[in-house]
Chains A and B, each alone.
Chain A
Amino acid sequence: MKIGDHVQNLGARVGTIQVLAFILLGVLGARLYYLQVVKGEYYTDRAESQRVRFIPIPAPRGAILDRHGKMLVDSRPTYNVVLSNEPLKTVNVAERVDDYSRGLNLDRQFVVERLSLIKQQNEFEAMVLKENADVRDITWVEAHSLEFPELRVELQPQRFYPLGAVLAHVLGYVGEISPKQLEDPLMQERGFRPGDIIGKGGLEQYYDEYLRGRPGYRKVLVDSRGRVQSELDVVQPQSGQDMVTTIDLDVQIKAEEQLSNSITKRGTIIAMDPNNGQMLAMASAPSFDPNIFVRGSSTPEGRKAIAAYWQDEKRPLFNRAIQGRYPPGSTWKIPESIAGLQQGAITVAQSNLVCGGGIQVGNKFTRCMGSHGSPNLSYAITKSCDGYYYRLALKMKIEGVIQMIETYGYDKRSGIDLPNEKVPQTPKSWMPWVIKNEGKWSDIRTVYSGIGQDTVWVTPISMLRAVASIGMRGQMYVPHFLKEFRPIAAVGTEGKSDFFAARVGFGFQNAEPKLIEAKEDQWDLVVKGMWGVVNGGGTGAGIRIPDYEIAGKTGTAQVAELGKDVGDKKDHAWFVSFAPAYKPEIAVIALIENVGFGGSHAAPAAKGVYEAFRETKGHITDSSAHSEAPDKTVALPKPDSTKTR
């Protein structure tokens, strides 16, 4: 039986099948040509991009040191649990939430956020899931490596604040960049990505650009589950620059101690070198532990602790030194005094004004807390005579007060190298509001402005800066913490992609003082009054140090009407000063909230700081007679005239 024998044209049918078979094979060949020859390059690129991954190598941030090289902030290696993107792409991440939060003791909400964030990541594949992993966490990750191939443990540098709450407001802390910050086009331009660590608050934020290192990366070959098969290339990171601050840690610790020994434990102490604006100490109480922010944001306990900081009505996160605005009370009289002389409202020869036990404006009598007859300027300062300043302000007129505000920089930020500094509120800034609501600026407001109340709300830093400039006879420096950024060497080979250029060292850029014009005898007169406050039986006499002449001014700022000024509403105690009186090397301001008289509470706190400063300078301190026990000074005769109004 041969095929040809049949009538059913079998030969043709077999031929049809054969042709069909060749056509099908031809279709395959054509498709092969398209994929391999036409689109070969395209698929080669796609294959490469899916097997090559960049794993960032975080760069250590620069350390922060005090002026003597003591470590304030450092980075130390910690184990982090890192989450990879690739293996997660094929899983429903919602199923992982409970496993992670239970296994690693993480906040559930945090895990949800983290997973949704990493889902949006493409180029770089890793994100920290848990910092500071302990042995238990590491064991858990290792034990579940088959189940959760996306997790791995890496040794990474972590910011560490060895001093805890000390200096916290100045240093700030670091944390992951927030989604809101990422929306900022400026941040995008600088190449920030989710998960990046940036400075938040304080010097960490202000100098982030320099403290921050430049991350390197490992270029690796991964398999389809993102597991690293081999390393193709490494670009080493460049560390951030070390920052030497002007802080004197001993003085700082002393300042913090003074605040924590105070009655309300709320307030601020700032110490500055008036010769150049270098900050020696800045304490604000209550304070916080930055380590909690660094480590805590992923754990339920940490999140609770952070929330507690935000909710605490004592506001521990608030830097009272630069963000707090308080009525300055009598401390205000110092810039006002020199301005009165500068503007000619009084003269050195004829500086007497009537106290009168107060002043009658319209049908309202505003009292002075004492009766000082007709004091001259330095006596008025020493005794803090309100009646004198009511009249001085009226003589200067509100225009003169505003001129003084401008001269001493109360209408601007001081320019300190910290973020979020507040501008004081003054008659200048209140004027438009008052005119709009009251029709005119009344004399009584001018009177109040003469004693630093009502429309006057200043930041402690602005007050210290102004008074320090008076001690410096008109040289007003920008307060700052930066002494020096140390240089850092280049990394990698020039011209290659792994090259990071060297970074140069530098100091504070805005070092030139603003110069305020006044005659030498005018400065002398004001300083004499301030000298008298401490050394001439004035309102701060209790803190006198025999061989060290402090020039200062107390202030007791009213926060509630007379009669209601008890408990929480007690007056704020101020003391602003510099020493030695005629050749200042340090200026100190102390503000204790709601404790009462400045001479009894703020001045002793400042004294403690002076003592610590002299000790670090190697001065011989008279330790027995003038120990730093602040309650000794409470027993002094009540300085009744310090109370303004």
Chain B
Amino acid sequence: MVARIEKRDVRDFDWLTALLAVAIAAFGVWQIHNALPSEGYWSKQILGIGIALVAFFVVAFNDYRRIIDAAPFFYGFGLILLLLVLTPLGVEVNGQKAWVRLPVVGQFQPSEFVKIPTVLMLAKYFGGRKAKDLSLREMLIGGAILAGPVGLIMLEPDAGQAITYFPILAAVLFLSAIKMRYVVITLVLAAVLVPTAYYVGVQSGFIKRYQQERINAILDPESVDPRGYGYHTIQSMITVGKGGLAGNQGDTDTSQSVLKFLPEPHTDFIFAVTAENTGFIGCISLLLAYALLLSRMIAGAREASDRAGMLVIMSIVCGMVFQIFINVGMALGFLPVIGVPLPLMSAGLSAILSTFIAIGFVVSVRLRRFVN
């Protein structure tokens, strides 16, 4: 499947994007080590990055257009994987069946990977359309493409992963000439309906007590029960704040994660660990690195040789921005605790692999900017 790599490919290859991604991932390995120095997550992550880089180059040097043509196949395969999760092959962790264990391949999280075929499927459908205003039918079809994986993920249930799919569709619709008034109406409705829904949910008991407490922990972290559901939020804020300007620079004796005050320090709360160890300076540098990477990817989208390629990049960008914002916002205590990994940073083979594959598509699109 690996295409013949031509000299031109190497010349036009977006080395900066690749370098930024690898740099952030390497920084992530250091933070995973800081989080739990005595455990082997950081070395596993190095292995994961190695595998991810192989996949990255395979995807990058292949023509994305041929892969998009095969999108329905990948999409169908993805849905099958998500179905497998719900069978006895699925592995239950903390009451969630988000994992599947297959022979040879081992254990992985399909919901991380299925984002890519979903992106491709949307790009295939919306990439071929004529330049006119988006019809309702098209929007519904877009919604249906998304509904497949999201519905299956909700059955796991893994609401955190499920919501990371929405920005993908939002990006595609927004860039497919949805009328601005729909955008405005959606935003206004959201501003009104979300608080209303929350209120009704609380009153009717549909929103569970622990879910409410997670919200309350955001609104007023000092007055919630620090041992209850607000615990994670408060501990994360303490960890971040403790980092101060320059961080504790690897002092693991008093580290919040080593002393187990900070839960899931190597995955969901890796940003808090980063904040504790590298302080404000380190965190801002990381955010700037993300900004640079995203800008570079968006630049690729602007130069894409076709609409499908542009949609692929932009939906990946939106997905990443959304995940960064949700994850870091949670670590900084102003968004509720949702189990969303921080792209390129959180420990986890599935996450790092799917992210590098996604960036592989971005590079692949850019590589073919001069074609046609």
Residues of A within 8 A of B (CB): 1-3, 6-8, 10-11, 13-14, 16-18, 20-22, 24-25, 27-29, 31-33, 35-37, 39-44, 46-48, 50-51, 89-90, 221-225, 229-230
Contacts and interface: CB of A to CB of B under 8 A. Distances in A.
A44 B241 contact: yes
Contacts of B284: 29, 32
Contacts of A223: 258-261
B346 to A, nearest CB: 16
B306 A1 contact: yes
B217 to A, nearest CB: 15
Contacts of B302: 3, 11, 14
Closest 5 A-B residue pairs measured CB to CB? Answer: A43-B241, A40-B244, A8-B177, A224-B260, A36-B280
A90 B301 CA distance: 49
Contacts of A222: 259
Interface of B: 131, 171, 174-175, 177, 227, 231, 235, 237-245, 253-254, 256, 258-261, 275, 279-280, 283-284, 287, 290-291, 294-295, 298, 301-307, 310, 314, 317-318, 321, 324-325, 328-329, 332-334, 372
Contacts of A90: 227, 231
Given A14-B302, A28-B332, A44-B244, A7 B131 contact: yes
A1 B372 contact: yes
Contacts of A29: 284, 287
A224 B261 contact: yes
A37 B244 contact: yes
A610 B146 CA distance: 104
Contacts, number: 143
A13 B239 CA distance: 38
Q: Is chain A's binding surface mostly helix, strand, loop or mixed?
A: helix
B260 A47 contact: no
Contact of B260 (A6, A25, A37, A225): A225
A89 B279 contact: no
A5 to B, nearest CB: 9
Contacts of B310: 3, 10, 14
Listed residue (B174, B240, B242) with the most chain A CB atoms within 10 angstroms of its CB: B242
A17 B298 contact: yes
Given A41-B244, A223-B258, 15 more contacts: A1-B307, A1-B372, A2-B303, A11-B302, A14-B301, A17-B314, A17-B318, A21-B294, A21-B317, A24-B325, A31-B332, A32-B280, A40-B243, A43-B239, A47-B256
Contacts of A35: 237, 240-241, 275, 332-333
A502 B310 CA distance: 82
B305 A1 contact: yes
Contacts of A1: 304-307, 372
A48 B253 CA distance: 12
B139 to A, nearest CB: 15
Given A1-B306, A50-B261, A42 B131 contact: no
A47 to B, nearest CB: 4
A36 B175 contact: no
A25 B328 CA distance: 9
A37 B238 contact: no
Contacts of A16: 174
A367 B285 CA distance: 110
Contact of A39 (B241, B306, B307): B241
A12 B18 CA distance: 26
A25 B329 contact: no
Contact of A17 (B174, B280, B329): B174
Contacts of A46: 238, 241-242
Contacts of B287: 25, 28-29, 32
B53 to A, nearest CB: 25
A18 B244 contact: no
A386 to B, nearest CB: 76
Contact of A21 (B239, B254, B321): B321
Nearest to B301: A14
B155 to A, nearest CB: 30
A32 B303 contact: no
Contacts of B237: 35, 43
Contacts of B334: 31
Nearest to A36: B280
A43 B329 contact: no
B318 A43 contact: no
A43 B259 CA distance: 16
A41 B294 CA distance: 33
12 contacts: A2-B303, A8-B131, A10-B310, A17-B174, A25-B291, A25-B325, A35-B333, A36-B244, A43-B239, A47-B256, A47-B261, A51-B254
Contact of A14 (B254, B291, B298, B372): B298
Contacts of A31: 329, 332, 334
A442 to B, nearest CB: 72
Contacts of B295: 18
A40 B241 contact: yes
B238 A36 contact: no
Contacts of A48: 254
Contacts of B372: 1
Nearest to B240: A35
Contacts of B261: 47, 50-51, 223-224
A6 B238 CA distance: 49
Nearest to A21: B321
B275 A32 contact: yes
Given A35-B240, A221-B253, A40 B332 contact: no
Nearest to A33: B280
Contacts of B333: 35
A22 to B, nearest CB: 6
Contacts of A7: 131
A32 B238 contact: no
Contact of A28 (B314, B318, B325): B325
Contacts of A33: 280
